[in-house]
Amino acid sequence: MTKQIVVLISGSGSNLQALIDAQQQDCLGGHISLVVSNKKRAYGLTRAANADIPTAVRTLKEYRDAGKSREDFDRDLAEFIASDYAPDLIVLAGWMHILSPAFIDRFRGRIINLHPALPGELDGAHAIDRAYVEFKAGSRSRTGVMVHYVIPEVDKGAPILVEEIPCKEGDSQEDLENRIHAVEHHILPKAVKLVLSGNVKSSE
C-alpha cells in the first residue's frame, strides 16, 4: 500500500516543489495526499494545485479572533489531518508555526522537519541570517542543513540526514542562502524516502 504524506508549508514552497518533483519521478517512497498552509497567500498552495494535490488553509489568526488558543488550533489541525488523511508521515517544509504537544502527541515519531542548520546549532527562526552574521564576524566557517524528527523542543529531535555546508570567503548572504537551498532541495526528498522505507527510526 502506498504511504501517505501530508506536507505543511507557510511560504513559497520551493521545498514542497522538490518533494513533488521526487514524487513525479517515483523517488519519494510515498504519495503527497494533502498540503496545508497557515498562510492564505502562500505560493506553495499554487504549486500543489498545479500538481493536482489537495490543499487546505488553516490560520492561527482565525482562532485568535475567536478567542481560542494556539493549542486549540493545533488540536483541531491534528484532528482534521488524522481523520481525513491518516498520514504515514507529516513533513514540515517551511512551516513557520511552532507546533505544541496538542499536535505532536497525535503523530509522535511521524513528523519530520527541515532546518537550515547543523544539529545543536542555530535552533529556531532566522538560522541562515544568524549563520551569516557569525560568518562575517569570523566566528563561523560552516553551517548546514538537517532533517530531523519533531519533538516539542524546537529543532532538538533526532537527526535523520545532515549535510555540512562551507561558508566561503567572499560569500554574500545570497550566495550562502542559495547553497543552503540547493542542499535542502535534495536532502528533504531523500530523508522522506528513508523514513518511509523503515530504515531509520525515531528515538521517541
How far apart CA 181 and CA 187 sit, in angstroms, is 10
Residue 126 annotated to the active site: no
Q: Which of 115, 126, 181, 186 is catalytic?
A: 115
Distance CA 143, CA 131 (A): 7
The backbone region for 131, taken as left when phi is positive above 0, alpha when psi lies in -120 to 50, beta otherwise, is: alpha
Handedness of CA 155, 159, 193, 185 (dihedral sign): positive
| Residue 26 backbone zone (phi > 0: left; psi -120 to 50: alpha; other: beta) | left
Provide the grid cell at 135: 560568518
How far, in Å, are 32, 59, 115, 171 from residue 140 at the CA level?
Answer: 37, 36, 18, 13
Q: Is 148 helix (H, G, I), strand (E, B) or coil?
A: strand
Bridge partner list, 145: 163
Q: What are phi and psi of 9, to 5 degrees?
A: -135, 165
Residues with catalytic roles: 115
